[in-house]
Structure 1
Amino acid sequence: MRLPGSGARRIRPGAATGARRGRAGLAGLVVAGLVLALAGAWAYARGPRAGRAADAGPPHTTVEVSSGGCGRGWDEPVPGVQVFDLRNTSDRAAEAYLEDSRSHAVYGEVEGIGPGTTRSLTVRVGKGSYTFRCLLEDADAVTGPTVRVASGRGGPAAAPVTQHDLIPPALDYQKWIAGALEETVRLTGRLRDAVDRGDLAAARTAWLPAHEQYERLGAAYDAFGDADGRINGTDAGLPGGVHDPSFGGFHRIEYGLWHGEGARTLRAPAAALVREVTALRDDWAQARMDPAQLGLRAHEILENTVQFELTGRTDYGSGTNLATARANLDGTRAVLSRLRPLLASRHAAPDGLDRAVDRAANLLDGFRHGDRWTPLDRLTRLQRERADAVLGDLVERLASVATLCDPRRTS
C-alpha cells in the first residue's frame, strides 16, 4: 500500500523513486475546509454565492474574520441551516471555527482564508450558544461575541483534538512498529536464504509473508523516509521500467520469482532488501513520527489500497493484491486501536466503524484458500463489485477519523 504525502508513501516517495502515489485527498480537504460527517461537524468550504433569491437556499450571513472583529456580523440568529460567508479583513491568512461557547465543541471550520477573501461555511444551528474563533497566522486565537439561538436542533459537533492529545497514541504506535520491524527482518531473512539456496519454490512461498508483514506498517511509511521506496517501491517513473537498475525491493524480487529469473539474478536484490529492512529496524529507535499524521494515515492506508491494490497496479506476477489489501486492513486496525480513546467521545458511530472494518476483513478472508489468494483477474464481476463497494465504503467512513484527529489550534 502507499500513502500520499509530501514524500510520504502510503505515503510513498515520488515517482522517481518508484513510488505509488502523490499526496492527495485528505490534505486537499483539510486545506479547503472539512467535512465532519459521521464523526463530527458538518462543514464545507466553497465560494460565496451572491445575488441569490431569499427562497433559493439557506440564509447567508457575512461574518468578519480578524483580530479586532472576529465574529462580527452575526446579529440576527435564527435556527436551521446557515451559510456564513467568512470575510478575512486582516492582512494574514486565517482559519475560523464555529464553536459551542461552553464546551468549545466544533460545529464547522474553514481553513486557508486568504487576506481580503471570503470563504463560506455551511452548518445547522439550533438552541444553544455559539461563538466564532478566529486564528490568524502567527497570532493568538481570538474569540468573538457569544450568539444565542433560542430554538431548533443544531447539527453535530466534536471536541477538537490537539497535538498533545495525539502524542500518547503515536508513541504507543511507534513501539508497535519496533516489534513489527523485528518480524519483518526475520521474514525477509527467510526469503533471502531461500534465494541463496537456489530454492525458488521456497522463495515464492516466503515472499508473501514477508511482504504482508511490511504492508502492515502503513502509518509509519512517512517516518521511513527514502528507505520505503527502496524496500517497497515500484518501477513507476524509472526509465528502464522493471529492468531499470534502480528497481529493487519486494517488487523487484516478486517480478523475478514469477517471471522465470534464476537465483543468481535475484541474490543481490534479496540481500539488498534484507540490508534495508535491518537498517530500518536498527535506526527506528531514533525515528520520530509526527503525531498529527496518525489520523490521516488511518484513512490513507486504505485509500491507497483501493487505488493501487484493487486495481492490480502493484502486481508484478504473484497475484497477491488481495493479500496485500488484507495486510493493509490489519495496519488500519493497528492505527484505529490507538486512536480509539480519542474517537470514543467524538465519532458519531465508533461501533459502526468497527463493524465496517470487520465486514471488509471477512470479505477479503473469503478470497484466501490456505496459503493461496485468488488473483484479481480470477474474481467474478460480482466479486469485484462487492470488493470495490465494501472497501470504498470503509474508506469514506475513515475520512471522518482523519478529520476528527486533525489537530486544531486552541490558542
Structure 2
Amino acid sequence: MPVPTRRQPTLRRLVPLATAGALLALPVLTGCTDNAPAANDGPSADPRALTVSASDTACTISGVGAPSGKLTFSVTNSGSKINEFYLLASDGLRIVGEIENIGPGITRDLVLTAPAGDYFTACKPGMVGDGIRAPFAVAESGQGAEASGNDGELVAVANTNYASYVRDQTDQLLSKTEEFVAAYKAGDDAKAKALYPVARVHWERIEPVAESFGDLDPMTDAREADLESGQKWTGWHRIEKDLWPTRAKGYKALSTSARATYADDLLKNTQTLYDRTRTITFTTDQIANGARGLLDEVATTKVTGEEEYWSRTDLYDFQANVDGARVAYEGLRPILQQRDAALDTQLDTRFTTLQGLLDQQKSGDGFKLYDDVSKSDVKALSDAVNALAEPLSKLTAAVS
C-alpha cells in the first residue's frame, strides 16, 4: 500500500501550547510575486488590524508595519490552493504566530501580541515550498505586551505555569526516549514497540513548541510522505517503519549499526529540544494559538490516520494533542472566565464531549490500533474535533 501524499514539513506550527519556539530560515519562493502592501488599500481605522490577501502567487498585506501590542491579521485566501500565513522573528527563524489550512475563499484571523521590533510576514500557497516573505516593522507604542488591570496577575501565572508544563513534558520526553533508544539499539523490538507511543505522547503534547524549532522538527518528526527532494529521513518515523515494516512491501530491515546511528541521532535531537526549553517563556497569545494549533494537528494528521502510518498508534497522539490543548485552555481559564464566560462554558463542554469519545477507544492502559476504529467512530471523532476547533479559534482574541 503506498504511503499517502502529505504536506511538506517546512514552516509547520509556530506557537507554544498548553497545561495537560525556531524555524529554518526560508528563502523567498522562486517565481512568486513579492509580498507587498496593497497599493489601493487606505489607512485602517485601527493600525493594528491588518488584512492579508493570500493568492497562489502573492501575499499582499494592507501595511508594512503596525504599532506594538495586540495585532490582528485577517487572512483571506484569494487563490485556488490551501494557504498558510506566518509572522516570523527578525532572524527569519523563530515563528511568532501562524494560521494554516486556509482554504480557497476562506478568511481566518491570526491574533497575537507583538513587541516593537523587526519581523517578516510569510504566506505559503499550497502549504509546500519555502513561502513568500516580506519585512514587517512593529513600532513602539507604549501598549504593554500583556493585559493590565485586574487580570494582570492571572496572565503572569498562566505564562509561568505553561513554561513549567513545557519543561516537565520535555523532561519526560528525554527520559522515555533514552529508554526507547536503548531497547531499539539492543534489538529488543517488543520493548521498543511498547515504549514508542508512550514516549511520543510527551512530544505530541507540546508539538507546537517543538515544531517552532524548525531545524529540529524535520529531523525528529518528519513522515516519509513529508520529505522534500534530497532530504535525509531521520527521527521517530524512520525508526517506526523499521519496527513495523508490514505495510512496506519488500522492506529491508536496518542493520545493527544503522539502528544505532538513527537512535543516537534521535536522542541527540531530543536532548537539544530539552536544552532549548529550559529558559523558554510564553505569552497568552502564544499559549492560546498553540491550543488551536494542536486541534489543527488532530484534524489534519490524527483523525486521518496519517501520523503513525506504520505502527497505527495514532490514538495515542490524538489524545496527547487534546491533552496539550486542554492544558493550555485550562491555564487561561481564569482570564477567559472574566472576559468571556460564555466562550469558557462552550469550550469546557466541547472538550468534555471529545474526551468522552476518545475514552471509548481505550484498550487497557492504552488505545486501540487505528485500523480497529470503525468508520462511524472516526466520523464522530472528526465531528467533535471540528466542533471544538470553532470556539477554540476565538480563545486568542479573548485572552490577549
**Normalising TM by the smaller chain, what interval?**
0.5 to 0.7
1:191 counterpart letter in structure 2: F
Bigger radius of gyration, 1 or 2?
A: 1
Correspondent of 1:189 among 175, 178, 183: 178
Aligned to 1:345: 338
| Structure 1 residue 161 displacement after superposition | 8.9
| Structure 1 residue 140 displacement after superposition | 5.6
Aligned to 2:187: 198
C-alpha distance 93-220 of structure 1, shift in aligned 2 (>3 A): closer
Correspondent of 1:248 among 209, 234, 250: 234
| Structure 1 residue 295 displacement after superposition | 1.2
- Residue deviations 1:283-331 (CA, integer Å, cap 9, x gap): 3223344553111111111122111111122223111112211011111
Q: Does the 8 Å CA contact 1:298/1:402 hold for their aligned counterparts?
A: no
| Structure 1 residue 221 displacement after superposition | 2.7
Q: Which whole-Å CA distance do the structure 2 matches of 1:394 and 1:91 have between them?
A: 32
Q: Does the 8 Å CA contact 1:10/1:221 hold for their aligned counterparts?
A: no
C-alpha distance 111-295 of structure 1, shift in aligned 2 (>3 A): same
1:247 counterpart letter in structure 2: W
Q: Does the 8 Å CA contact 1:310/1:376 hold for their aligned counterparts?
A: no
Map 1:369-384 onto structure 2 (within 5 A): 369-371=363-365, 373-384=367-378
C-alpha distance 247-138 of structure 1, shift in aligned 2 (>3 A): same
C-alpha distance 389-141 of structure 1, shift in aligned 2 (>3 A): same
Q: Which whole-Å CA distance do the structure 1 matches of 2:379 and 2:330 have between them?
A: 29
Aligned to 2:394: 400
1:322 maps onto 2:308 in alignment: no
2:146 counterpart letter in structure 1: T
1:162 counterpart letter in structure 2: E
| Structure 1 residue 65 displacement after superposition | 3.2
| Structure 1 residue 188 displacement after superposition | 0.7
Q: Which whole-Å CA distance do the structure 1 matches of 2:396 and 2:383 have between them?
A: 20
Q: Does the 8 Å CA contact 2:23/2:215 hold for their aligned counterparts?
A: no
Q: Which whole-Å CA distance do the structure 2 matches of 1:311 and 1:210 have between them?
A: 21
Q: Does the 8 Å CA contact 2:361/2:368 hold for their aligned counterparts?
A: yes
1:179 maps onto 2:177 in alignment: no
Q: Which whole-Å CA distance do the structure 2 matches of 1:315 and 1:217 have between them?
A: 17
- Residue deviations 1:244-302 (CA, integer Å, cap 9, x gap): 76211111111111016356243221221111112221332233445531111111111
C-alpha distance 355-137 of structure 1, shift in aligned 2 (>3 A): same
TM-score normalised according to structure 2 size: 0.61
Aligned to 1:127: none
- Residue deviations 1:89-122 (CA, integer Å, cap 9, x gap): x998779xxxxxxxxxx9xx97679xxxxxxxxx
Q: Does the 8 Å CA contact 1:221/1:228 hold for their aligned counterparts?
A: yes
Correspondent of 2:45 among 44, 52, 65: 65
Moved over 4 A (4+): 4-7, 9-17, 90-95, 109-113, 136-142, 163-167
1:8 maps onto 2:2 in alignment: no
State the superposition RMSD in angstroms: 4.3
Aligned to 1:309: 302
- Residue deviations 1:140-197 (CA, integer Å, cap 9, x gap): 699xxxxxxxxxxxxxxxxx99366545422221112112111111111111111122
1:332 maps onto 2:316 in alignment: no
Can you give the 5+ residue segments of structure 1 that lack an aligned partner in the other structure?
18-47, 49-62, 68-89, 96-105, 114-135, 143-159
- Residue deviations 1:317-359 (CA, integer Å, cap 9, x gap): 1111122110111111221121112111122242332221122
Q: Which whole-Å CA distance do the structure 2 matches of 1:273 and 1:168 have between them?
A: 33
User: Greater CA deviation, 224-233 or 199-208?
Assistant: 224-233
Q: Does the 8 Å CA contact 2:13/2:208 hold for their aligned counterparts?
A: no
1:162 maps onto 2:151 in alignment: no
Aligned to 2:261: 268
Q: Does the 8 Å CA contact 1:198/1:263 hold for their aligned counterparts?
A: no
Q: Which whole-Å CA distance do the structure 1 matches of 2:394 and 2:12 have between them?
A: 23
Aligned to 2:30: none
Aligned to 2:351: 357
Aligned to 2:207: 218
1:390 maps onto 2:384 in alignment: yes
Can you give the 5+ residue segments of structure 2 that lack an aligned partner in the other structure?
1-6, 27-40, 48-61, 76-136, 247-252
1:172 counterpart letter in structure 2: N
2:198 counterpart letter in structure 1: P
Q: Does the 8 Å CA contact 2:65/2:138 hold for their aligned counterparts?
A: yes
User: Greater CA deviation, 256-265 or 185-194?
Assistant: 256-265
SS of 2:304's partner is coil
SS of 2:194's partner is helix
Aligned to 1:231: 220
1:246 counterpart letter in structure 2: K
- Residue deviations 1:33-75 (CA, integer Å, cap 9, x gap): xxxxxxxxxxxxxxx9xxxxxxxxxxxxxx99389xxxxxxxx
Q: Does the 8 Å CA contact 2:308/2:314 hold for their aligned counterparts?
A: yes
| Structure 1 residue 199 displacement after superposition | 1.0
Q: Which whole-Å CA distance do the structure 2 matches of 1:91 and 1:213 have between them?
A: 39
Aligned to 1:152: none
Percent identity of paired positions between Structure 1 and Structure 2: 22
| Structure 1 residue 384 displacement after superposition | 1.8
